């Protein structure tokens, strides 16, 4: 199965899960608290059940690591290929009803996110990308894709960088690690929408100095890489997936990272980084409802 077929299936599954999520979003719903103090809604569990059922039918031989299943102690044996699922990234945004929550599905091969979809059902936008296949965005109407548009990261503007940070977990705007960067603008946004903003050329850098898990980042990482960007740890190494038995943290926990558009920024942010990729021109990817 080619990358295009994989993303087509991921898109279809995400769109179907979005119908379920929005049905819960539009009424009163139950919220509980997980052991890590993060919120859990009806939408998280219902969407994950649907996604797991659809993925099992489409990819019966590929194990799936899903956030709520892991929280309940269900972790499949994963080899070089597996799928990561976050059925509702941005539960706090969902509860606050600001629309900035997403459904994330990504395929991992040998530690690399090679295909992924990020769907924001309340915003009626979906992003997807794959290695060698490029990255795309589309508006969604009546739970169907409209015209897809290719997206690429932009060249770092000479007047200064636009940074994007987390709305619910602290944006990091005043972090001293950003002091040497020519920052012109800073915006806050929920869930993995931050990766997508960099991927489509609406921002240049997403620094994340707080805790994340692999299912939080894999789909957005796949889209950003497909658009020409990179996701790097603080030393400049690409973020890898399938991290188990970590001495310093739990399974699937990520280090702090930078999600970068133009590779020319990298030597300014990562210790010892020397490789600079050619800057990519921005595509015309802005959408309106």
Residue list for the binding site for Mg(2+)? 67, 86, 88-89, 216
Q: Sheet containing 257-260: which strands, arranged edge to edge?
A: 183-189, 161-166, 205-208, 257-260, 230-233
Residue 272 φ/ψ region, left for φ over 0, alpha for ψ in the -120 to 50 degree band, beta for the rest? left
Q: How far apart are CA 282 and CA 279, in angstroms?
A: 9
Q: Which two tokens stand for residue 139?
A: 């508006």
HSE-up of 123 (CA within 13 Å, CB side)? 23
Judge contact between 225 and 202, C-beta under 8 A.
Answer: no
3-class DSSP assignment, residue 163:
strand
Strands, E, within 63-193: which ranges? 64-66, 81-89, 102-109, 112-120, 125-130, 134-141, 144-151, 161-166, 183-189
Binding-site residue positions: 67, 86, 88-89, 216
Binding site listing for substrate: 67, 216
Burial of 154 (0-12, 13-18, 19+ CB in 10 A): buried
What is the chain's percent helix, strand, coil content, to nearest 5?
30, 30, 45
How are beta strands 134-141 and 144-151 bridged, if at all? antiparallel
Write the CB contacts of 165 (distance below 8 Å, at least 6 apart in sequence).
171, 172, 173, 186, 187, 188, 189, 194, 206, 207, 208
């Amino acid at each position: 199965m080619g990358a295009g077929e994989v993303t087509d299936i991921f898109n279809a599954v995400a769109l179907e899960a979005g119908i379920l999520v929005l049905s819960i979003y539009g009424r009163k719903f139950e919220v509980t608290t997980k052991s890590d103090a993060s919120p859990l809604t009806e939408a998280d569990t219902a969407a994950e059940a649907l996604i797991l059922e659809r993925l099992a039918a489409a990819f019966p031989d590929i194990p799936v690591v899903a956030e709520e299943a892991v929280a309940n102690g269900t972790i499949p044996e994963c080899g070089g290929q597996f799928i990561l699922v976050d059925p509702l990234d941005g539960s706090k945004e969902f509860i606050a009803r600001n629309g900035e929550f997403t459904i994330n599905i990504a395929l991992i091969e040998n530690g690399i996110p090679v295909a992924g979809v990020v769907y924001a059902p309340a915003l009626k936008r979906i992003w997807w990308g794959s290695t060698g296949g490029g990255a795309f965005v589309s508006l969604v109407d009546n739970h169907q894709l409209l015209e897809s548009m290719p997206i690429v990261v932009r060249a770092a503007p000479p007047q200064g960088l636009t940074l994007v940070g987390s709305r619910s977990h602290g944006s990091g705007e005043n972090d001293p690690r950003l002091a040497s960067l020519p920052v012109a603008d800073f915006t806050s946004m929920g869930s993995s929408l931050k990766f997508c903003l960099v991927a489509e050329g609406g921002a240049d850098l997403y620094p994340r100095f707080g805790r994340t898990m692999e299912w939080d980042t894999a789909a957005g990482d796949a889209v950003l890489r497909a658009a020409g960007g990179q996701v790097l740890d603080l030393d400049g190494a690409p973020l890898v997936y399938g991290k188990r038995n970590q001495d310093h943290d739990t399974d699937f926990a990520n280090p702090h990272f930078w999600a970068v558009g133009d590779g020319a920024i990298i030597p300014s942010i990562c210790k010892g980084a020397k490789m600079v990729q050619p800057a990519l021109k921005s595509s015309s990817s802005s959408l309106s409802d």
